[in-house]
Structure 1
């Protein structure tokens, strides 16, 4: 006797939820590891031989490239944490600032404003980068990430650097501004490099910054 259709065993199709790839969620251990990695990256870039410019004691370094990358790749909070960790370790005495120096004594030097600006620079850069990656078209990703890096530099790093030079060198803000101008071409190049590198990272692992 044949079985009816109602009696035949049914096979349920796999649900969309079970077959869809899962995106990684928030992982505290992973976040801490990324913060440490990017703090170390900033330190490694600081070891590149600085290029002296002018006679005001602030050389061209690659530190800001690492800070921009931290904001562009990790986003605002983790990027700021990575830059803040780097600055904190340097102030505590580790020789990880440009020229292999460290300690609170650097706060009396002409570079103090630039160093203290790093966490806030990464924060601003990261906020803009996160908005770009969530809403901006993919084909415009590199130019928009470049603008995010430049914005962090112009809105935070340069103003605080100018203020620091004005205070520690005892010069006017106008004179400090003229000292700062020499860093602009290099910042444009470093922002382009950071944007290109960050775009490659987000193409390979978009979950690093944009989740869910």
Structure 2
């Protein structure tokens, strides 16, 4: 129990630390950040439940006003912009990623974690992000989907990196990859 709480807090801190990498805000208000890779790592390393809890802890800290989002954003106002759908989708994405890694036991972990990160960290997250953007920017779902295509190459790279990092962690400290224990 104590170990789980520590790891959940540690991964919430990892997401925050990845926010220190400078963001690039696009014209329609949604930034490109490294924090989505933190979401992917929450799922691949911690598993579904713990990964989602780490993301929820991070989002609770942001809601309380801590400037943990890329660019030093925080507070309830962060949940009122065009990126709100992505923020809401983050815990779902971590859960989906963790669920896939926990259940898919065959194949190399790097591949499993990468594919899970694409399905959850791109598929599930974009589902929420596109809907949020469509509502807040008064666009159709297709128009909002076209806006987020700029994120795809970077997110695929992040998914592959999350898979490689998870596999390397499993090789060096197998017990630390809770999604596989």
Are 1:197 and 2:170 matched, yes or no? no
Q: Distance in 2 between matches of 1:58 and 1:40?
A: 22
Q: Tell me how far apart the structure 1 counterparts of residues 12 and 5 of structure 2 sit (CA, whole Å).
A: 11
Show the counterpart of 1:97: 69
Instruction: Give the alignment partner of residue 59 of structure 1, picking from 20, 27, 31.
Output: 31
2:111 aligned partner:
143
Kindly indicate whether residue 90 of structure 2 is the aligned counterpart of residue 118 of structure 1.
yes
Query: Is 1:188–2:162 an aligned residue pair?
Result: no
- Match of residue 101 from structure 2: 129
**Residue equivalent to 1:164:** 132
Describe the SS at the equivalent of 2:29.
coil
Q: State the partner residue of 1:7.
A: none
How far apart are 1:201 and its partner, in Å? 1.2
TM-score for the superposition, normalised by structure 2: 0.94
Which residue, out of 45, 50, 56, partners 2:18? 45
Q: Under a length normalisation based on structure 1, what TM-score does the superposition of the two structures give?
A: 0.81
| 1:86 alignment partner in structure 2 | 58
- Where in structure 1 do 4 or more consecutive aligned residues deviate above 6 Å? none
Structure 2 gaps of 5+ residues are: none
CA apart distance, 1:160: 0.5
- Gap runs ≥5 in structure 1: 1-27
Aligned length: 179
> For 1:184 and 1:167, how far apart are their aligned partners in 2?
21
Larger radius of gyration: 1
| Per-residue Cα deviation, 1:137-172 (whole angstroms, up to 9, x for no partner) | 3xx221221101001023310010001111111111
Q: Distance in 2 between matches of 1:39 and 1:153?
A: 16
Give me the whole-angstrom Cα distance separating, in 2, the residues matched to 1:91 and 1:47: 18
1:92, distance to aligned residue in structure 2 (A)? 1.3
C-alpha RMSD of the superposition: 1.2
For the 8 Å contact 2:122–2:155, the answer to whether it is kept is: no
The structure with the largest helix share of the pair is 2
Return the offset for 1:67: 0.5
